[in-house]
Amino acid sequence: MSPLRSPTAGPARIEVRGLVRRDDFTLPLDVAIGDERTAVIGPNGVGKTTLLRLIAGLERLESGQLTIDGRVVDDAGSVFTAAHQRSVAVAFQDHRLFGHLRVVDNVAYPLRRAGLNRNTARARAAGYLAAVGLSEVAMVRPAQLSGGQRQRASIARALATPAQVLLLDEPLASVDDQSREALRDLLISTEHRTVVWVTHDPNDAKYANSTLTLS
């Protein structure tokens, strides 16, 4: 395991300066994220998700440069660190759970990739599932979950990923009102990481150290 991957490596500063091509237009970005909790807000289609995908390594810059923790991971040319080699975890808005795995094994997935054996990974995953209130459905498959449960499982999986940067794309959008507060507390309590949180909800943004508005 590379030292980048260690969850104790602490928060990382992210800087994006350059252009990224979207389907229909080119989006200029000039963003520096230094605080532990940054909320990203802005109208639909302004590129919030694209920003997360850039940081995660799922998109490439058209020009410019992207650094994480002072290290260039994308220079729109020869340097490109692939997603799996960046110390980044993502909770996707559309969940993206693995349908062939049980819920607990979905959460254990990043732990298994980090080298834990099956039982240890499952035991730890169970802890994250308990934290998001999904202990009862640990052994079922994602297809049997409700939309809100899937989103919570997706959050648990992102939390379980030992990464310096945690990217959250509308993580509470389809979660019911009762669990929203508890989940928000859970996300905020995340320490030693840089959390980038794309949201529409001004309540989410209130808890951030800083707010980044894209327009």
Partner 1 sequence: MLMIRLLRAPLPLLVPAMLAVALLVVPLVGLLQRAPWSSLVSRLVDDAVLEATRVSLVVSFSAAGLCLLLGLPLAWVLARVDLPFPRLVRAAVLLPMVLPPVVAGAALLFALGRRGLVGQWLDSWFGVTLPFTTAGTILAATFVALPFFVTTVESALVAQGRDLEEAAAVNAAGPMTAFATVTVPSIRGAIGAGLALSWARAFGEFGATITFAGSLGGRTRTLPLQTFLALESDPESAVAISVLLLAVSLGVLVALRGRWLTR
Torsions phi, psi for 94 (to 5 deg): -95, 25
Whether the CB-CB separation of 62 and 55 falls below 8 Å is answered with no
Instruction: Please state, in angstroms and as integers, the Cα–Cα distance from residue 192 to each residue in 13, 20, 29, following that order.
Output: 12, 29, 26
Query: Which of 1, 70 has the CB closer to partner 1?
Result: 1
What is the distance in angstroms between the CA of the first residue and the CA of the last residue of the chain?
38
Which among 60-68, 85-93, 130-138, 178-186 is the span making contact with partner 1, rule CB under 8 A?
Answer: 85-93
User: Which listed range, 38-46, 123-131, 160-168, 174-182, lies at the site for partner 1 (CB under 8 A)?
Assistant: 160-168
- Of the pair 70, 99, the CB lying nearest partner 1 is at 99
Q: Specify the residue, 134 or 205, whose C-beta has the smaller distance to partner 1.
A: 134
- Distance CA(68)–CA(88), nearest Å, equals 10
Contact status, residue 67 vs residue 130, Cβ threshold 8 Å: no
> Which residues, in sequence order, are bridge partners of residue 177?
none
Q: Is 21 in the site for partner 1 (CB under 8 A)?
A: no
Q: Is 99 in the site for partner 1 (CB under 8 A)?
A: yes
Among 22, 71, 100, 192, binds partner 1 (CB under 8 A): 100
Confirm or reject binding of residue 197 to partner 1 (CB under 8 A).
Answer: no
Distances 143 to 102, 110, 131, 153 between C-alpha atoms, Å: 10, 20, 21, 12
- The residue (of 161 and 194) whose beta carbon lies closer to partner 1 is 161
Residue 143 found at the interface with partner 1 (CB under 8 A): no
Question: Counting contacts by CB under 8 A, is residue 17 touching partner 1?
Answer: no
Cβ-based nearer residue to partner 1, 28 or 79: 79
* Torsion 12-171-55-24 (CA) sign: negative
CA distance 25 to 29: 13
**Token duo for residue 6:** 């260690």
Name the residue nearer to partner 1 (CB basis): 90 or 205.
90
Contact between 121 and 110 (Cβ < 8 Å): no
Indicate which single residue of 15, 39, 66, 92 sits in contact with partner 1 (rule: CB under 8 A): 92
Out of 47, 57, 148, 171, point to the residue binding partner 1 (CB under 8 A).
57
Q: Shortest Cβ distance from residue 214 to partner 1 (Å)?
A: 21
Query: Strands 37-41, 210-213: parallel, antiparallel or unpaired by DSSP?
Result: parallel
Residues in contact with partner 1 by the rule CB under 8 A: 5, 56-58, 82-85, 88-90, 92, 94, 96-101, 109-110, 113-114, 157, 161, 163, 167
